[in-house]
Each structure stands twice: as structure tokens, then as C-alpha cells.
Amino acid sequence: MQLRRVRLLALVLALSFGLLACSDDGPAASGDQLNPEEAEVMLEALVEAGGFGLGALSMMGSPSAGIAASAQFDISETVPCPEGGSIAMDGSVSVDEGQETMEWTFTQTHQSCQVSAPDDGSGWLFDGSPSVVSSFAMVFSETQFSMQGSEEGGIAWETGGRSGTCSIDVSYDFSGTESTLTGTVSGTVCGNDISFSETVDI
């Protein structure tokens, strides 16, 4: 499977399973609190801002652009947010097309990152509190793949004159073909437990 196809599947996952979670493992929640619906909107805005490390994967290019089919390398990029500010992304990617595996870990630090939520258009400002770490491992073939991963860390947010902080801790487990993606997401969102499954046509 070409790296371009791997990145596409990973991006579909990020957009389809955009809900992340908040738990007691990160910084303690403070300031205003979000209800479940507001937390979902916030997390959709976070995905819109940077895709939780998947934005950095889009910079990898393809094997024809100079990236070897099997390689391990570091990525350190500052990615602009849609409406101002940026996200500092630091991490590493390991690809082995012979073993048909891909792994990546990114630490993302939001820096006055401004974005509008795609669902309701509300404006959000994010700052690292302290940061979000995304770790994923994928096994793939020409027609199938499976991926497990997690998001952990914290974020400081502002919207509509309100502000607060919350920690992030969520697990992903999913698999797919070139036409269908099926998976589960579980965790808590700013104190609100979530656990669901979803199937998405690619």
C-alpha cells in the first residue's frame, strides 16, 4: 500500500472518529465546564485545527517525493491554524512496507490556535495545557488495515466569553478495507464517559 493511501485512511479516521476524551490523568479541569454536547463541538474544532498529529503526516510526501518505502525519521513542524495561531508538532514516524507496518507518535502544543467548529461555526481558541500526545500503530496490506491508538494530554480552551482547561485521554481500535472503516472509541470527555462504535464508507 502506498504511503499516500495510508495517510488518506488515517485522515479519514481522524475526521470520522473526531471525538477525543478528557480524564483525571492530565491537568485538573478548571474554569468553566463543558457539557457533553459542548465537549463534542470543542473536539470537532480541535480536529479541524490540526488532526491530532495527522496534519504532520500530510507533510511526509510519498516514496516518489523522496521518502523511502521503509524508513524511520523525526518530524518537527509548526502548523498554522485555520484562523490564526499555530500548533507545534514534534514526533517520529516509522514505516516498513516490507512488514506492512506504520507507527507514529506526535506531541502537539497549541499556540493561540484559532478555529471554527465545523458543526455550528462557533469560534474556539486553544493553548497547550500542557500538550496532546498522539500515538498510533497501523498494520496494512493492499486491501486491508488495522490501527490502534491513543490521545493523551491537556488543552486550554476559550469560546464565547467562557474558558477552561481539560485533560484528554482516549483509545481507538479500528480496522478497514479500501471502502469501509469500522472501529470503536472509548474514554471520557471532560468528565463525560463515551464509548461507541461506528462504520464509515470511505
Q: Name the phi and psi angles at 148, rounded to 5.
A: -125, 150
pLDDT digits (tens, 9 = 90+) for 161-193: 999 988 878 888 888 887 887 888 788 767 777
Domain extent listing, the chain:
3-59+71-201
Half-sphere exposure of 64 (CA within 13 A, CB side): 2
pLDDT digits (tens, 9 = 90+) for 103-137: 888 888 999 999 999 889 999 999 987 788 888 88
Q: Name the phi and psi angles at 36, rounded to 5.
A: -55, -40
| Helical H segments across 111-200, by residue range | none
Q: 25-29, 85-89, 122-126: which range is least confident on average?
A: 25-29
Mean pLDDT throughout 136-153?
83
State residue 67's pLDDT score.
Answer: 44
Give CA–CA dist 200/202, Å, rounded: 6
State residue 131's pLDDT score.
Answer: 85
State residue 157's pLDDT score.
Answer: 92
Contact predicate 13/184, CB 8 Å? no
Q: Which residue has the higher pLDDT, 77 or 16?
A: 77
State residue 122's pLDDT score.
Answer: 95
pLDDT digits (tens, 9 = 90+) for 28-66: 678 898 888 888 788 778 778 875 555 555 544 443 334
**Type of residue numbered 134:** S
State residue 23's pLDDT score.
Answer: 37
**Type of residue numbered 100:** E
Strand partners, 64: none
Q: Which residue has the higher pLDDT, 141 or 17?
A: 141
